[in-house]
Structure 1
Amino acid sequence: MADRSNAPIIIKRKKVVSGGGHHGGAWKVAYADFVTAMMAFFLLMWLLNATTEQQRKGLADYFSPTIAVARVSGGGDGMFGGSSMMEDDTLSQNGDGEAGGIPFEGTAEGQAEAQARAAEVAILQEIEATLLGIGGESFVQQEALRHVVTRLTDEGLIIEVFARENAPLFVNDGTEPAPILIELTTMFARVFDIVTNPVAVEGHTRSAPLVVANRPVWDISTGRAETVRLLLEAGNLDPTRIARITGHGDRDLARNDALSVRNNRIEITLLRVQD
């Protein structure tokens, strides 16, 4: 028998991975992320259904603020962006001075006009807040205000009333008002009594499908504006305050989809008095 005293001794060690059957618990983290994402998704869906378009716009503006960097910008490479301080019109073009007979805000006349404009804007903002706050009076009015979005522009306070799916403003796509439009215009007329600003009414309608021949979109939009004028006057709005009624047909769409029901809308504007 051969001598095996000098043979090398081999030791084999078996590596044991603890928790391998459960993937080290990583599945728990993935599951928690999934549950959190689903909760956020359902919360978003609930908010979309429970808020008005005006409130959704306010939330969007809050999370994506836009701050102007400068009132004007020039294309020149000089200190004044291509303008010379020795030119008479430089200050007025840049919004910093007076020229062409426009009152400068540093003068008494300019300050009076600025104060009048500020007062008018404050009143229009008060009317806007009043309109949006009326919805708390009843559930019916709260549902009606889901058809309304407002915005303050250089022209005045624009109150846009739009149709929603299964909730039209006019019966059978015509000019006969639906009950929700009657309720809204009555409410508007009551709030408009706070001021004496003139009122403009504009009618808009969506495009007609190609299978519909000779759909009178112009007559419909103008007829709807006329209907709203009559409803406002029925709500005790002074007829002399109506400055104009306009029908835009399907030429000024609110949605890119020309057939979207959102394009069926009425715009009522409280016009500014101060220019």
Structure 2
Amino acid sequence: MAENTNIRPIIKKKKNVQAAGHHGGAWKVAYADFVTAMMAFFLLMWLLNATTEEQRKGIAAYFNPGIPAYMATGGGDGMFNGEDLFTEMTENQSGTGASEDYPTELENAAGDTGGAPVEDAAEEQFSEIESLFRGDSGESTVEDSLLKHVNTRITDEGLIIEIFDLPDTPLFAQGSDAPTEVARQLLMMIANVTGMVRNDIAVGGHLGREPESDDGFALSAARAQKGRILLAEYGIAPARFVRVTGQSNRALALETGPDYRNRRLEITLLRSPPG
């Protein structure tokens, strides 16, 4: 019997089944970094909400290598480079402050890392005295309206508190050194605040661009003198006044714009000199 040559051979294919291989762990590292970053973010949000402005400044100062973490190792109790925690004469000497052998400018104590710049200390002191001054306003509408007459700024000379005319409420009668009730209230408010420090005081009188008198220097000086007298009546020790000047219209606050802003008194809390 003849063989059937048309039968195809049966070929079995072997399937190679491989176990699931290792796909790497890089994604785990990235995910862990993401979770850590989110945790830090929410922790930061919580800290911003749970801390005060003063506490946040302290935290920022701690992480800023330019500001020593132990500035407050002195023992002073004042501000504006007078008897304060940066003063050579009142500090501990055994802390991180400067010693009498190596005082810094204005006798500000410099810690192991060099101390804060004079400008930074002055800004802190300005903020403190400004908060005291603003605190006198309370919630009274009358007192809040008085503060519209006030401008403060810090300079190399010290803290300058300006009180100036408003369109309908001048500080002095036209062409006279007679103070209005508004001026008296403002000077009383300033006396209450400046009485909390011991710095010397300078008072300057200024007029507007338009002349009020034939002798502007005499009129501005008379107004400055009246301001000094009222501050003394309201409790400022007379010995603290070291300068009273009248500058007429030679030192304008505004060269252009409303002239009433130039009619003003400047009460300056002077920086305490070194030594």
Band of TM-score, shorter chain: 0.5 to 0.7
Q: Distance in 2 between matches of 1:112 and 1:185?
A: 29
Q: Distance in 2 between matches of 1:131 and 1:182?
A: 16
Aligned position for 2:182: 180
Q: Distance in 1 between matches of 2:155 and 2:107?
A: 18
Aligned with residue 197 of structure 1, among 199, 202, 215: 199
Aligned with residue 110 of structure 1, among 104, 112, 123: 104
Counterpart contact for 1:203–1:224, Cα < 8 Å: yes
Residues 84-103 of structure 1 correspond to what in structure 2 (within 5 A)?
none
Unaligned runs of 5+ residues in structure 2 are 1-97, 111-117
Deviation at 1:108, TM superposition (A): 3.9
Q: Distance in 1 between matches of 2:226 and 2:129?
A: 23
CA-based RMSD: 2.7
Moved more, 177-186 or 164-173: 164-173
Q: Distance in 2 between matches of 1:137 and 1:189?
A: 19
Counterpart contact for 2:106–2:273, Cα < 8 Å: no
Q: Distance in 2 between matches of 1:230 and 1:113?
A: 32
Letter of the 2:107 partner, please give it.
E
* TM-score for both structures, normalised by structure 2: 0.55
- Cα deviation 1:162-221 (Å, max 9, x = unaligned): 111111010224110011110011111111111110000000001336xx8x62211110
Aligned position for 1:235: 234
Aligned position for 2:68: none
Go from structure 1 to structure 2 and tell me whether the alpha carbon gap of 1:135 and 1:259 turns closer, same or farther (over 3 Å shift): closer
Q: Distance in 2 between matches of 1:114 and 1:236?
A: 29
Counterpart contact for 1:219–1:247, Cα < 8 Å: yes
Deviation at 1:121, TM superposition (A): 5.6
Unaligned runs of 5+ residues in structure 1 are 1-104
Identity of aligned residues (%): 38
Letter of the 2:208 partner, please give it.
R
Letter of the 1:216 partner, please give it.
D
Counterpart contact for 2:103–2:109, Cα < 8 Å: no
* TM-score for both structures, normalised by structure 1: 0.55
Aligned position for 1:139: 141
Letter of the 1:175 partner, please give it.
D
Letter of the 2:164 partner, please give it.
F
Counterpart contact for 1:206–1:258, Cα < 8 Å: no
